[in-house]
């Protein structure tokens, strides 16, 4: 791994990820609620609008990643992510402006702004992701970085949840909160850009096929994004419309569960590996689903939050280790496959959730969404365990056969 920089701290990288996650969590977890409850779009229409943006983002991930040299070093990646941050801000302003429009113009603005945001966000997200495989961290440092970015993302979720739970949510207050989040995101992106400016360019000039397999983390990412986010995306509806809903938002519990569990997950991964951690996380998803069906929605959120933390850290650590075995010119295409897989799965899930919202009278009783939330979470937990265990058995068989 000679020629790759080793001067960027894990803490600095995680701080930049926190700023980026403010926008990601806001657009992914609260966008559906914003479209259906504030812009009053039909559930199916809102789901399709979100899915359209996600699919554009997935395509752009793959297309942009073909410009391998743009992301072939941490220095270049740092420059691209600050450009993407400013582009994302411009698109976000257009999306917020849709609230002042009516009828067809509002819908058209939402769709166009969502697509523009997804396009700009690629240049913000992909470079930061590539740094996991470009920086000359040891295996343990990669795991620390994956855990730190998961905790930072959870911190962003907690921040958004606290902001969104403020009573008497006025338009001026919303603008102030968006502006504050924007300042944090831009400041952290600017810091990361400055931190990487002095790093050397990569010595690798051509792509290499010598890279470890990335099939397993891709499969787990698809499963997780297709099933688990249903709980977090429907949580705002639960908190708003469920009779006697707790003032403590479920998103807050999810975020805290993800963050505080990181030391445990990191220790488990160091001791037993990512595969074992994913199996345990799958078990927590099943427990969370069962708790939700029993009415313990807060306990369910805690279990699902902790499971999400384990899965996120395991997937990114495993993927970064695989990418680091190849040429830096392979980093962008590889990470683009991971994020594109996630976005396609999220797009499919968005359409399904939009249909669910359109046929469920959740405004009369938000708890009517619990069975769907539990079923999807249960399915995700079972699938994660099955794929993780199957891959573990397959690897053992392959090693035995080669011996």
Whole-number pLDDT of residue 6: 46
Q: How does 191-203 read in b/e, with b if 16+ C-beta sit within 10 Å?
A: bbbebbeebeebe
Residue 154 burial by CB count (10 A; 0-12/13-18/19+): exposed, middle or buried?
buried
Q: Report the percent of the chain where pLDDT is more than 90.
A: 32
Whole-number pLDDT of residue 8: 73
Which range, of 110-114, 173-177, 178-182, 371-375, averages the lowest pLDDT?
173-177
Whole-number pLDDT of residue 393: 55
Residue 388 has pLDDT above 80, yes or no: yes
Strands (DSSP E) found in 90-219: none
How do residues 243-277 score in pLDDT, each as one tens digit? 666 545 788 889 999 999 999 999 999 999 999 99
Question: Taking a C-beta distance cutoff of 8 angstroms, is the pair 7, 131 a contact?
Answer: no
Instruction: Write the CA distances from 335 to 26, 102, 193, 209, 346, integer angstroms.
Output: 22, 39, 20, 15, 17
Q: What is the 3-state secondary structure (H, E, C) of 189-211?
A: HHHHHHHHHCCCCCCCCCCCCCC
Q: pLDDT-derived band of residue 401, with 50, 70 and 90 as boundaries?
A: very low
Residue 208 has pLDDT above 60, yes or no: no
Whole-number pLDDT of residue 57: 85
Q: Residue 160 corresponds to which tokens in the numbers above?
A: 């958004």
Whole-number pLDDT of residue 206: 45
Whole-number pLDDT of residue 174: 59
Whole-number pLDDT of residue 395: 56
Residue 296 has pLDDT above 50, yes or no: yes
Residue 198 has pLDDT above 80, yes or no: no
Residues ≥6 apart with Cβ < 8 Å to 40: none
How do residues 133-183 score in pLDDT, each as one tens digit? 888 788 898 899 999 999 999 998 888 777 766 554 455 555 666 677 778
Of the ranges 40-54, 195-209, 273-287, the best mean pLDDT one: 273-287
User: d(Cα 148, Cα 125) in Å, to the nearest integer?
Assistant: 16
Q: Report the percent of the chain where pLDDT is more than 70.
A: 84
Q: Residue 13 corresponds to which tokens in the numbers above?
A: 């990288």
Which range, of 27-36, 104-113, 311-320, averages the lowest pLDDT?
27-36
Residues 334, 339, 345, CA angle at the centre, nearest 5°? 130
User: d(Cα 317, Cα 120) in Å, to the nearest integer?
Assistant: 26
Whole-number pLDDT of residue 337: 93
Q: pLDDT-derived band of residue 202, with 50, 70 and 90 as boundaries?
A: low
Whole-number pLDDT of residue 18: 93
Which range, of 82-91, 107-116, 139-148, 212-221, averages the lowest pLDDT?
107-116
How do residues 224-243 score in pLDDT, each as one tens digit? 999 998 888 888 787 777 66
Residue 307 has pLDDT above 90, yes or no: yes
Question: Taking a C-beta distance cutoff of 8 angstroms, is the pair 196, 77 a contact?
Answer: yes
Number of alpha carbons in the 13 Å side-chain half-sphere of residue 358? 15
Residue for token digits 């962003």? 156
Mean pLDDT of the chain: 82
Q: pLDDT-derived band of residue 2, with 50, 70 and 90 as boundaries?
A: very low
Q: What is the 3-state secondary structure (H, E, C) of 372-402?
A: HHHHHHHHHHHHHHHHHHHHHHHHHHHHHHH
Residue 397 has pLDDT above 50, yes or no: no
Best CA proximity match to 338, nearest among 355, 350, 321: 321
Three-class SS of residue 9?
A: coil
How do residues 10-24 score in pLDDT, each as one tens digit? 888 898 999 888 878
Q: What is the mean pLDDT of residues 360-368?
A: 77
Q: What is the mean pLDDT of residues 112-133?
A: 86
Three-class SS of residue 244?
A: coil
Q: Residue 91 corresponds to which tokens in the numbers above?
A: 């698109």
Residue 5 has pLDDT above 50, yes or no: no
Question: Taking a C-beta distance cutoff of 8 angstroms, is the pair 75, 199 a contact?
Answer: yes
């Amino acid at each position: 791994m000679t020629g790759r920089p080793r001067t960027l701290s894990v803490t600095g990288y995680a701080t930049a990820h926190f700023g980026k996650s403010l926008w990601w969590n806001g657009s992914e977890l609260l966008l559906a609620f914003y479209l259906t409850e504030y812009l009053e779009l039909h559930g199916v229409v809102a789901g399709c609008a979100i899915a359209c943006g996600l699919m554009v983002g997935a395509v752009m991930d793959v297309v942009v990643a073909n410009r391998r040299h743009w992301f072939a070093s941490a220095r270049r990646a740092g420059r691209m992510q600050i450009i993407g941050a400013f582009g994302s801000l411009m698109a976000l302003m257009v999306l917020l402006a849709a609230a002042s429009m009516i009828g067809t113009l509002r819908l058209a603005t939402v769709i166009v702004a969502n697509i523009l945001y997804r396009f700009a966000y690629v240049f913000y997200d992909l470079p930061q992701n590539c740094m996991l495989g470009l920086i000359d961290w040891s295996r343990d440092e990669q795991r620390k970085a994956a855990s730190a970015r998961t905790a930072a993302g959870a911190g962003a979720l907690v921040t958004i949840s606290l902001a969104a739970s403020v009573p008497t949510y006025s338009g001026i207050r919303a603008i102030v909160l968006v502006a504050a989040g924007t300042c944090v995101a831009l400041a952290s992106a600017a810091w990361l850009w400055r931190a990487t400016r002095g790093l050397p360019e990569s010595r690798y000039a051509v792509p290499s096929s010598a890279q470890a397999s990335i099939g397993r983390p891709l499969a787990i990412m698809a499963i997780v994004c297709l099933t688990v986010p249903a709980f977090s995306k429907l949580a705002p509806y639960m908190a708003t419309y469920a009779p006697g809903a707790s003032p403590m938002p479920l998103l807050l519990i999810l975020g805290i569960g993800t963050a505080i569990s990181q030391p445990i997950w990191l220790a488990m991964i160091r001791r037993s590996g990512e595969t074992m951690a994913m199996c345990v996380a799958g078990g927590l998803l099943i427990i969370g689903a069962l708790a939700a069906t029993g009415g313990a929605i807060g306990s369910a959120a805690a279990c699902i939050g902790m499971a999400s933390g384990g899965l996120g850290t395991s997937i990114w650590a495993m993927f970064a280790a695989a990418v680091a075995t190849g040429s830096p010119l392979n980093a962008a295409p590889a990470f683009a496959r991971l994020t594109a897989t996630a976005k396609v799965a999220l797009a499919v899930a968005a359409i399904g959730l939009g249909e669910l919202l359109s046929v469920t009278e959740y405004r009369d009783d938000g708890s009517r969404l619990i069975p769907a939330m539990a079923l999807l979470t249960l399915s995700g937990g079972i699938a994660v365990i099955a794929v993780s265990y199957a891959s573990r058995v397959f690897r053992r068989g392959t090693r035995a056969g080669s011996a």
